[in-house]
Amino acid sequence: MVEKRVAIVALAFAIVLTGVIALTVRVFGVEVPDCVVDVQPFRQGNVVEKAPKRYEIHYVARMWKFDPPEITLAPRSIADIYLSTPDVVHGTQIVGTNFNLMAVPGAVNYARVKFDKEGDYLVVCNEYCGTSHHNMAAVIHVSEKAAAHRNVRMHRLSLGGRQQADRHDIQRTLRQHARAPRRIDGRR
């Protein structure tokens, strides 16, 4: 008799959990990240505008930077992000979104992100990857100016003086983000 009650409670619990997962997917638009098996890992990052406000971003996480380090998108854009790494495991998170993927050598991971609000979205490595891990960051700028021109602007780091300027811009964004007040629910 006790076993029958335990089995009924376990079954009810499983049904409730399945319902919660279905509700989360439907109401909050949560999507499960995916590992892409039919694409070879890439060694260079780029951004392609597939349609107005629809982008495909190939991020390469490597010690200790992201390629591309800076991107500008239009507000209310949808980005299909593919992530690869040639060296060690990196954790990649876009602060202020639900994007959080692991970059694993030899694999390409995928997730879709919608950028509804204007602002700077910080891309950080959240998996320790070596001595300069704390400097590993990139920025996605979402602005109306990009929408007017319908273009994607990508800044490539050169080996010259601009490299230092880009690094300082990213570090300034990191400091500003750290100082921004947080609400109790974790949002800014």
The per-type count for the chain, helices as H runs and strands as E runs, is: 3, 12
Q: What CATH class is the domain 34-179?
A: mainly beta
Average pLDDT over residues 132-159: 67
The beta strands (E) that lie in 16-161 are given as 34-36, 46-51, 54-62, 65-67, 70-73, 77-84, 90-94, 100-103, 108-115, 119-125, 137-142, 153-155
- For residues 122 and 173, the answer to whether their CB atoms sit within 8 Å is yes
Average pLDDT over residues 71-99: 92
Q: Report the C-alpha gap between 123 and 120 in whole angstroms.
A: 10
Residue 33, pLDDT > 50, answer yes
Domain extent listing, the chain: 1-30, 34-179
- CA 69 → CA 32, 88, 172, distances in Å? 25, 18, 14
Residue 165, pLDDT > 70, answer no
More confident residue, 34 or 18: 18
Return the minimum-mean-pLDDT range out of 82-86, 117-121, 147-151.
147-151
